[in-house]
Amino acid sequence: MRRLNNSIEALAHSYLVQGIVNRSGGGALPNRESIMSILLGLNELLFPGFGGLEDLSHDLRLITGEQVYHVARDLMREVEKSVAFSSRKGGRFSCGKEGCRAAAELMVEDFFEELPKIRGALILDMEAAFKGDPAAKSIEEVLLSYPGFEAVMAHRLAHFFWIREVPFIPRMMSELVHSRTGIDIHPGARIGGSFFIDHGTGVVIGETTIIGNNVKLYQGVTLGALSVKKDEADLKRHPTIEDDVTIYSGATILGGGTVIGRGSVIGGNVWLTKPVPPYTMVYNNAGNQVIREQRADNTR
């Protein structure tokens, strides 16, 4: 047991010297299990009956009210921790204990006001998945079983907190769903309406990516940066995908100046670091990359 005692002393010393200890009380940081529980609760609010709540035979408004207050209480607790951390580190928020609690309450109220709008956007995403995949038998099947839709749902929730500079929570939401789906969408990415990720595994969408309306991605697509230098963190590093673009599996599109023009089709395993004009088809043929115009009425 002497060796264990030595290990205890060494660990305790490292805590003092190296830090990185998440202390309880006022200095605690958000909890992963709590964020996952909040995500599940929000999913149930967005689409009642498809998550944890099975008995919807009573007054749906009353059930919704109870669920909103339950999720809001838990979310406010985690947002308060995040806001307090920002305040301690000289971030966007500057507040004492009571001030951070008030800021968290206001943030959560704003979020729930936005939730119906987020729900509307997700219904368009769901419809895009149903229309865009011949294998989809119903809207309900998309909601219950499509990992791409699950990832987009988490992103639209996380993005709310990202643009308001709340630490931790947006990345935690995104990464928790990343671990479930294999789809990595940074919460900073700006994604338009009717977005569909088919199959999904291995998709990566970087922080400063901008995606327009009616865009469809297949598995293994990377929308990434040409450089990972830390001093370029505040620059536009990831591509822009305009409306009505389809990108097939394994394509890699890199760089903040890379714009894929409206109505274009990017074939499988294509590597792009330069802009593509609107209504263009890009594909590989016998080891060569082919870029050719297509008719504007044949965009998908």
Question: Where exactly are the structural domains of the chain?
Answer: 24-182, 202-300
Cβ-Cβ contacts under 8 Å for 154 (sequence gap 6 or more)? 39, 173, 174, 176, 177, 185
**DSSP class of residue 190?**
E
Rounded to an integer, the average pLDDT of 155-174 is: 98
> Domain spanning 24-182 has what CATH number?
1.10.3130.10
Confidence of residue 274 (pLDDT cuts 50, 70, 90): very high
Confidence of residue 134 (pLDDT cuts 50, 70, 90): very high
At 163 the pLDDT is 97
> Exposed, middle or buried: residue 210 (CB in 10 Å: 0-12, 13-18, 19+)?
middle
Question: What is the C-alpha R_g of the chain?
Answer: 22
Rounded to an integer, the average pLDDT of 146-168 is: 97
The answer to whether the CB of 240 falls within 8 A of the CB of 219 is no
Distance of CA 265 to the CA centre of its chain: 24
Q: Rounded to the nearest 5 degrees, what angle is found at the Cα of 293, between the Cα atoms of 243 and 201? A: 50
Residue 104 and residue 74: Cα distance in Å, rounded?
Answer: 11
Residue 35 and residue 42: Cα distance in Å, rounded?
Answer: 10
Distance of CA 47 to the CA centre of its chain: 18
Dihedral angle over CA of 109, 115, 116, 119, nearest 10: 180
Q: Which of 214, 253, 252, 217 is nearest to 121 (CA)?
A: 214
CATH number belonging to the domain at 202-300, selected among 2.160.10.10, 1.10.10.10, 3.40.50.300, 2.60.120.10: 2.160.10.10
With b for 16 or more beta-carbon neighbours within 10 A and e for fewer, the 84-101 pattern comes to: bbbbeeeeebebeeeebb
At 300 the pLDDT is 44
Phi, psi of 48 (to 5 degrees): -60, 140
pLDDT at 298 over 60: no
Element (H or E) spanning 130, and its range? helix 97-132
Rounded to an integer, the average pLDDT of 36-47 is: 94
Name residue 12's amino acid: A
Per-residue pLDDT of 72-125, as tens digits, reads 999 999 999 999 999 988 888 988 878 999 999 999 999 999 999 999 999 999
The answer to whether the CB of 191 falls within 8 A of the CB of 163 is no
Question: Which strands, in side-by-side order, build the sheet including 196-197?
Answer: 196-197, 216-217, 246-247, 265-266, 280-285, 288-293
- One DSSP character per residue, 229-284 reads -GGGTTS--S-EE-TT-EE-TT-EEE-TT-EE-TT-EE-TT-EE-S-B-SSEEEEE
Element (H or E) spanning 124, and its range? helix 97-132
Residue 86 and residue 166: Cα distance in Å, rounded?
Answer: 8
Per-residue pLDDT of 207-223, as tens digits, reads 999 999 999 999 999 99
Percent of the chain beyond pLDDT 70?
A: 95
**DSSP class of residue 107?**
H
At 299 the pLDDT is 43
